[in-house]
Structure 1
Amino acid sequence: MLERKKLFVGHDANRAGAQLVLLHWLRERKARGLSNFLLLVEGGSLLQEYKKVAKVWVWKTDIPFWFKIKQRIPKIKSRQAWNHEPSEQKVLGILKSLRNEAFTSILGNTVSSVGLLRELASLQIPMEVYVHELSHSIATYTTALDRTFLATGIQRLYAVSNMVKNVLETDLAVDANKIALLPPIIELHEQEQSHKSFIRENLGIPVDAKIVFSCGLAEWRKAPDVFLEVAKKLIVKMPKVHFIWLGMLENEYSDDLIANTAIWDSKKQVHLLPVCSDSRPYFEAMDVFFLSSREDPFPLVMLEAAHVGKPIVGVRASGGVNDFLQGLDELLVESWDVDVLVDKISSLLQLSPEQLAGYQQNLKERAVQYSAALFMDRWAQLQSK
Structure 2
Amino acid sequence: MVESKKLFVGHDANRAGAQLVLLHWLKERKAQGYTNYLLLVDGGSLLEEYKKVAKVWVWKTDRPLWFKIKQRLPGLRQAEEWDKTPSQRKMSQILSSLSEEAFDCIIGNTVSSLSLLRELVTLHVPFEVYVHELSYSISNFTSEEDRKFMANQVSRVYAVSALVKTVLEKEVGVKAEIIDLLPPIIELPEATKNTNDPVRAALRIPANSPIVFSCGLAEWRKGPDVFLEVAKKLIDKMPTVHFIWLGLLDNDYSNELLASKTVWDKNQQVHLLPVCSDSRPYFEAMNLFFLSSREDPFPLVMLEAAHVGKPIVGVRASGGVNDFLKGLDELLVDSWDVHVFVDKIASLLQLSPTALAAYQQDLKKRAVQYSASLFMDRWSQLHSK
Please classify the TM superposition score into its range, dividing by the shorter chain length.
over 0.9
* 1:257-276 → structure 2 map (5 Å cutoff): 257-276=257-276
- After superposition, residues 32-47 of structure 1 pair within 5 angstroms as 32-47=32-47
Change in CA separation of 1:231 and 1:90 when aligned onto 2, cut-off 3 Å: same
Aligned position for 2:131:
131
| TM-aligned CA distance change 1:191 to 1:80, over 3 Å | closer
1:345 maps onto 2:345 in alignment: yes
| Cα gap change, 1:24 to 1:195, in 2 (>3 Å) | farther
Superimposed CA distance per residue, residues 344-371 of structure 1 (whole angstroms, 9 cap, x where no aligned partner): 0000000000000000000000000000
Map 1:66-145 → 2, pairs under 5 A: 66-73=66-73, 80-145=80-145
2:205 equivalent in structure 1: 205
| Cα distance in 1, alignment partners of residues 195 and 259 from structure 2 | 29
Q: How does 1:207-356 map to 2 (within 5 A)?
A: 207-356=207-356
Alignment-derived partner of residue 9 in structure 1: 9
Deviation at 1:74, TM superposition (A): 6.3
Matching of residue 191 in structure 1 with residue 191 in structure 2 = yes
Provide the residue aligned with 2:381 in structure 1.
381
Structure 2 distance, partners of 1:366, 1:74, is: 49
Q: CA offsets per residue over residues 161-189 of structure 1, 9 Å max, x none?
A: 00000000000111100000000000011
- Describe the shift of the 1:104–1:71 C-alpha distance in structure 2 as closer, same or farther (beyond 3 A): same
Please give the root-mean-square deviation of Cα atoms over the aligned residues, in Å: 1.1
Q: CA deviation at 1:196?
A: 5.6
Partner of 1:171: 171
Query: In the TM superposition, what is the alpha-carbon distance from 1:76 to its structure 2 partner?
Result: 5.7
Q: Distance in 1 between matches of 2:321 and 2:78?
A: 45
Aligned residues of 1:194 and 1:281 also touching (Cα < 8 A): no
Where 1:115 maps in the other structure, the secondary structure is helix
The CA deviation at 1:71 is 3.1
Amino acid at match of 1:7: L
- The Cα offsets for residues 201-255 of structure 1, whole Å up to 9 and x where unpaired, read as 1001000000000010000110000000000000000000000000000000000
Q: CA deviation at 1:191?
A: 1.1
**1:127 touches 1:155 (CA, 8 Å); kept in 2?**
yes
Distance in 1 between residues matched to 2:263 and 2:76, nearest whole Å: 38
- 2:158 is matched with 158
Task: Give me the TM-score of the superposition, normalised by structure 2.
Answer: 0.98
Q: 1:272 is matched by which residue type in structure 2? A: L
Cα gap change, 1:306/1:75 in structure 2, threshold over 3 Å: closer, same or farther?
Answer: closer
Distance change in 2, residues 1:80/1:250 (3 Å): closer
1:195·1:284 contact (CA, 8 Å) conserved in 2? no
Q: 1:196 to 1:147 in 2, by over 3 A?
A: farther
Tell me the amino acid that sits aligned with residue 317 of structure 1.
A
> Any idea what SS the aligned residue of 1:71 has?
helix
C-alpha distance 250-41 of structure 1, shift in aligned 2 (>3 A): same
The residue type paired with residue 218 of structure 1 is A
Q: Aligned pair in 2 of structure 1 residues 73, 18: CA closer, same or farther (>3 Å)?
A: closer
Which SS does the other structure have where 2:172 is aligned?
A: coil
Q: CA deviation at 1:101?
A: 0.5
Q: Structure 1's 112 and 69: CA in aligned 2 closer, same or farther, altered over 3 A? A: same
Q: Letter of the aligned partner of 1:81 in structure 2?
A: E
Cα drift, residue 195 of structure 1? 6.2
> Is the Cα–Cα contact under 8 Å of residues 196 and 284 in structure 1 kept in the other structure?
no
- Distance 1:234-1:78 versus aligned 2 partners, 3 A rule: closer
Deviation at 1:70? 2.4
Q: Secondary structure at the match of 2:218?
A: coil
Cα offset, 1:81, TM superposition: 1.9
CA distance in 2, matches of 1:78, 1:311: 46
**Structure 1 length-normalised TM:** 0.98
Instruction: Describe the SS at the equivalent of 2:50.
Output: helix
Structure 2: which amino acid aligns with 1:292? Answer: S
Contact kept, 8 Å, 1:196 with 1:281, in 2: the verdict is no
Unaligned runs of 5+ in 1: none
Q: Which amino acid aligns with 1:374?
A: L
Residue of structure 2 in register with 1:59 after alignment: 59
- Whichever residue aligns with residue 11 of structure 2, its letter is H
Q: Work out the CA distance in 2 between the residues paired with 1:113 and 1:92.
A: 18
Alpha-carbon distance in 1 for matches of 2:161, 2:100: 35
- Please state how far the C-alpha of 1:106 moved relative to its aligned partner: 0.1
Distance in 2, Cα, partners of 1:78 & 1:343: 47
Matched residue, 2:26: 26
Mapped partners of 1:258, 1:74: distance in 2: 22
